[in-house]
Amino acid sequence: MDYKQKLPQGKNSIVVAAADDKVFSAQIPQDIKKKALTAGKEGFFISTDASGNFYLIGADHSGTLYGCLDLIDRIAENKSLPAKLAVTDHPEMVLRGTCIGLQKPDYLPGHDVYEYPYTEESFPWLYDKKLWIKYLDMMVDNRYNSLYLWNGHPFSSLLRLKEYPYAVEVDDATLKKK
């Protein structure tokens, strides 16, 4: 992206930006920027002005994303870009997410409670990139901002710690896949 570029100006322009963006912030009209920042973390303000300009300004980058998703929903519902609009919104909860259980109903041979190495054989869906993209897209559509993995001790299958280099329950190739 060419950061020397300016935001659109003039009649019927569409401006999509984050109020806290260091590059474009100064170009956003102060009253519009203030309303977006008032929306709070991950909030946004969508409006039109008398000249026909359209503003979608997030309080931050997440707010800009959520504002875009809100506008997409409005366009889909009305089959057109709204001519007049003044909407401020923000998430009600700070953390919104899903929990994925990474456990088996039985002990695995040679393992104890909470020992479930994350191998392709044990959890094939964990290695399915297309499925993860679809799942993460669903999370964005639902405005989730966190993902929780549920397991007693997941770290020995996900990473190697400097302090405990041998506390890994999968081989190097499997660890590298993650």
Domain containing residue 37: CATH number: 3.30.379.10
Per the prediction, the chain carries an average pLDDT of 84
pLDDT tens, position by position, 141-156? 999 999 998 876 666 7
Q: For residue 107, what pLDDT is reported? A: 77
Q: Are residues 82 and 102 in the same domain?
A: no
Q: What is the domain extent for residue 112?
A: 97-177
3-state class (DSSP) for residue 139: helix
The predicted pLDDT at position 135 comes to 97
Q: What is the pLDDT of residue 170?
A: 80
Do 58 and 112 lie in one domain? The reply is no
Write out pLDDT tens, residues 43-83: 999 998 887 788 999 999 999 999 999 999 998 998 888 87
Asked whether residue 76 falls in the same domain as residue 25, the answer is yes
How far is it, in rounded angstroms, from Cα 138 to Cα 11? 36
Strand partners, 56: 16, 46
Please give the pLDDT value at position 86: 92
Q: How many domains does the chain have?
A: 2
* Through-space distance between the first and last CA atoms of the chain, rounded to whole angstroms: 30
Share of the chain above pLDDT 90, in %: 42
With respect to residue 166, please indicate whether it lies within any of the assigned structural domains: yes
pLDDT at position 94: 93
Residue 19 belongs to a domain: yes
Residue 14, φ and ψ in degrees, nearest 5: -120, 120
Residues 49 and 113 in one domain: no
Q: Which band of pLDDT confidence, cut at 50, 70 and 90, is reported for residue 172? A: confident
- pLDDT over 70 at 11, yes or no: no
Q: Are residues 169 and 126 in the same domain?
A: yes
CB atoms under 10 Å from CB of 138, counted, come to: 11
Global pTM reads: 0.71
Are 108 and 124 in a shared domain? Answer: yes
Residue 71 or 13, more confident: 71
pLDDT in tens, 105-141: 777 788 776 677 788 888 899 999 999 999 999 999 9
**pLDDT given for residue 117 in this prediction:** 78
What percent of the chain is predicted at pLDDT more than 70? 89
Tally DSSP H helices, then E strands, for the chain: 5, 6
Residues 81 and 26 in one domain: yes
Tokens (6 digits) for 91: 């998430």
